[in-house]
Structure 1
Amino acid sequence: MNVDTKNLPADAFERVHIDSTQAERISKPSVSFWQDAWLRLRKNKAAIVSVFILVFIIIMAFVGPMISPHEADKQTITHANLPPKVPGLEKLGIFDGVGTLGGKEVDLYEFKKVDTYYWFGTDGLGRDTFSRVWEGTQISLFIAFVAALIDVVIGVAYGGISGYYGGRIDDVMQRFVEILIGIPNLVIIILMLLFMEPGVTAIIIAITLTGWTGMSRIVRGQVLKFKNQEFVLASRTLGASNGRIIAKHILPNIMGVIIINTMFTIPSAIFFEAFLSFIGLGLQPPDASLGTLINDGYKLIKFQPHILLYPALILSLLMIAFNLLGDGLRDAFDPKMKD
């Protein structure tokens, strides 16, 4: 359709004025890499819920034994094998201390004349399961975090040196890693325990002997990727030392990958500690960890299922929460993700 512009009134047109000072103004505020990653992570509901679960479990691991009216190692044989009983909830018909005795359901607290409450029940020696579960969680988390920290330190240093210098150094270092990967972890642990007593130190050393190899290979791949980038070459041309290039240019760019893999290393260490304690190669009684508590509950699962329920539930929550948080961090640090 043709429009006759000659007959249009003059006020039908409006001159558009462009302010040159605002022509290239960025309306959206700029954010750093870490701020952008946090914004992405906040949108992941599963990761945020996992953070709250982990914070709650970590707090309870330290506060739980303090708020319990019973000591974790105190043995009261007359209070053995009591079911959970919680004030207030007993009136609702749950956690009321009712158990099976001779094929009949009876209030075991009245039967044994126990005038106190055990929130998670007791084990076969009359020890408070609530205190033992949270002390065991504390030990398992300590082992996992220390092992993960050592893995990060050794793995990042080893992989960074191997990838950055390359050549003959890289060949020799990677052949050593391949030898360690080829030896099963359980064989190394059994041989090591021939010379060390089972305990926290032995488990940490066992986990870190070969645990750092995965981190080192990932870091090596990332360093090989970045060391020939233009900004690294420009820095080297300007006379920057190798230490400055690694610390100022390469390490910040691979920090996201290191954090993500650490989040996956921690649950692996927790599970590995539980596995060692379950098969008798980890902590020894009377020390408690999630693995030893699960082992104790496994023997009485038909008669006292609550002894197995609580440590198994906490172990499952830790594994799921750390893995979901790791997935969320991987999505948050991925530069290809778009809003």
Structure 2
Amino acid sequence: MTTNMKKLPKDSFERITIDSSHAEKISKPSLSFWQDAWLRIRKNKAAIVSMFILVFIVFMAFAGPFMVEHDPEDVKVAHASLPPKIPGLEKLGIFDGEGKLGSKTVNLYELKKVEVNYWFGTDSLGRDLFSRLWKGTQISLLIAFVAAIIDVVIGVIYGGISGYYGGRTDDVMQRIVEVLIGVPTLVIVILMIMIMDPGILSIIIAISITGWIGMSRIVRGQVLKYKTQEFVLAAKTLGASDTRIISKHLLPNIMAIIVINMMFTIPTAIFFEAFLSFIGLGLQAPNASLGTLINDGYKFIEYQPHILFFPAVVISLLMIAFNLIGDGLRDALDPKMKD
């Protein structure tokens, strides 16, 4: 049986020579855990937009009071209850200084012969709301960040010790946690306010007394999970101390979950501070926070809604931004969420 086959010319084939030094070369550069997480979070548009909003609010909280010439605590009764007025926006029909006087809409700046402009208007005592808003945001952020840092430090140390040593130590420490959880947070806060003078320090202490419990339980669970892994057993076999195992082996592996929970702790602290100030247990006049500003605006919502509108928008943006960033970090730092 014969088969007719055409012979291909020799120039149809080309010899390819591969350099052995490049045979196993990785074309894509290696990335660290945090670099890989940043690449993933960049794909989350909601988290990126929230980051820009958060950076803007933090910037304005510190720069805003210096952008106008009005002192946030300067009382001018003659300038009381003025609506917002921003030069250049009068033609658009917004922020033009017009407000209701009885049933008529008049320019209150001309009526009261006020020559200066208040971008966000004034309150019932004539204080500039623009500078007070950003000063109050600054104080609220300060309270929230300090309380969150204290919660993280106490929660990580307490939960790490409880989970790592286990046994009777874990039993005793968890019974203490269960007792603290059983006491309503608001009762503890009221007792702290009664003992201490109302102010920033008392609010931070009140929030921190029970705020660390959630973090400690999460850290304890993660430590219980990792302490039986092979790399921890290898470190013990090599004679590593407990302090070194916790700081060098366990803590880096649970850092992601700590960062994520901290991002959810901050808005909780902001909201709790605002709640305390709103019900009169937080900061006292003339100090400003988002809670006190919302409380002041709530009293005049029918006639001067701008007093409530601006702090309500800022606290809403803060809550949404922190939660969206927390969701983005949770997806980016979780190895199971890889694309």
Q: For this structure pair, what is the TM-score category when the shorter chain's length is used for normalisation?
A: over 0.9
* 2:24 is the alignment partner of 1:24: yes
Q: What per-residue deviation string (whole Å, max 9, x for no partner) do you get for residues 38-68 of structure 1?
A: 1111111111111111111111111111111
TM-score w.r.t. length of structure 2: 0.97
TM-score w.r.t. length of structure 1: 0.97
SS of match in other structure, 2:239:
coil
Residue identity in the other structure for 1:192: M
* 2:213 is the alignment partner of 1:244: no
SS of match in other structure, 1:105:
strand
SS of match in other structure, 2:337:
coil
SS of match in other structure, 2:106:
strand
Instruction: Tell me the CA shift for residue 14 of structure 1.
Output: 4.1
Distance 1:283 1:13 in 2: 84
Distance 2:11 2:67 in 1: 79
Structure 2 unaligned spans of 5+? none
The aligned counterpart of 2:218 is: 218
Equivalent residues in 2 for 1:302-317 (5 A)? 302-317=302-317
Residue identity in the other structure for 1:111: L
Task: Decide which moves more: 299-308 or 327-336.
Answer: 327-336
Q: What per-residue deviation string (whole Å, max 9, x for no partner) do you get for residues 73-100 of structure 1?
A: 1111111100000011123221000000
The aligned counterpart of 1:268 is: 268
Instruction: Tell me the CA shift for residue 252 of structure 1.
Output: 0.7
The aligned counterpart of 2:109 is: 109
Instruction: Tell me the CA shift for residue 183 of structure 1.
Output: 1.2
Task: Decide which moves more: 328-337 or 152-161.
Answer: 328-337
Distance 1:251 1:5 in 2: 70
Distance 2:124 2:272 in 1: 26
> Identity over aligned residues, as a percent?
74
SS of match in other structure, 2:100:
strand
Structure 1 unaligned spans of 5+? none
Residue identity in the other structure for 1:312: A
- After the TM superposition, which parts of structure 1 deviate over 3 Å for at least 4 consecutive aligned residues? 3-19
Distance 1:234 1:71 in 2: 62
The aligned counterpart of 1:208 is: 208
The aligned counterpart of 1:119 is: 119
The aligned counterpart of 2:277 is: 277
SS of match in other structure, 1:336:
helix
Instruction: Tell me the CA shift for residue 6 of structure 1.
Output: 6.5
Equivalent residues in 2 for 1:31-46 (5 A)? 31-46=31-46
Distance 1:169 1:5 in 2: 84
* 2:179 is the alignment partner of 1:184: no
Q: What per-residue deviation string (whole Å, max 9, x for no partner) do you get for residues 142-186 of structure 1?
A: 000000000010000000000111111011111111111111100
Distance 1:116 1:91 in 2: 18
Kindly tell me: are residues 127 and 5 of structure 1, through their superposed partners in 2, closer, same or farther at Cα, counting changes over 3 Å? farther
The aligned counterpart of 2:322 is: 322
The aligned counterpart of 2:148 is: 148
Task: Decide which moves more: 235-244 or 309-318.
Answer: 235-244
Instruction: Tell me the CA shift for residue 16 of structure 1.
Output: 4.4
SS of match in other structure, 1:106:
strand
Distance 1:69 1:83 in 2: 17
Distance 1:266 1:193 in 2: 21
Q: What per-residue deviation string (whole Å, max 9, x for no partner) do you get for residues 265-323 of structure 1?
A: 00000000000000111111111100010000001000000000000000000000000
The aligned counterpart of 1:199 is: 199
CA RMSD of aligned residues (A): 1.3
Residue identity in the other structure for 1:252: P
* 2:229 is the alignment partner of 1:229: yes
Instruction: Tell me the CA shift for residue 25 of structure 1.
Output: 1.4
Kindly tell me: are residues 5 and 167 of structure 1, through their superposed partners in 2, closer, same or farther at Cα, counting changes over 3 Å? farther
* 2:95 is the alignment partner of 1:95: yes
The aligned counterpart of 2:60 is: 60
Residue identity in the other structure for 1:243: T
Instruction: Tell me the CA shift for residue 22 of structure 1.
Output: 2.1
Task: Decide which moves more: 303-312 or 231-240.
Answer: 231-240
Task: Decide which moves more: 16-25 or 259-268.
Answer: 16-25
Distance 1:258 1:37 in 2: 15
Residue identity in the other structure for 2:321: A
The aligned counterpart of 1:130 is: 130
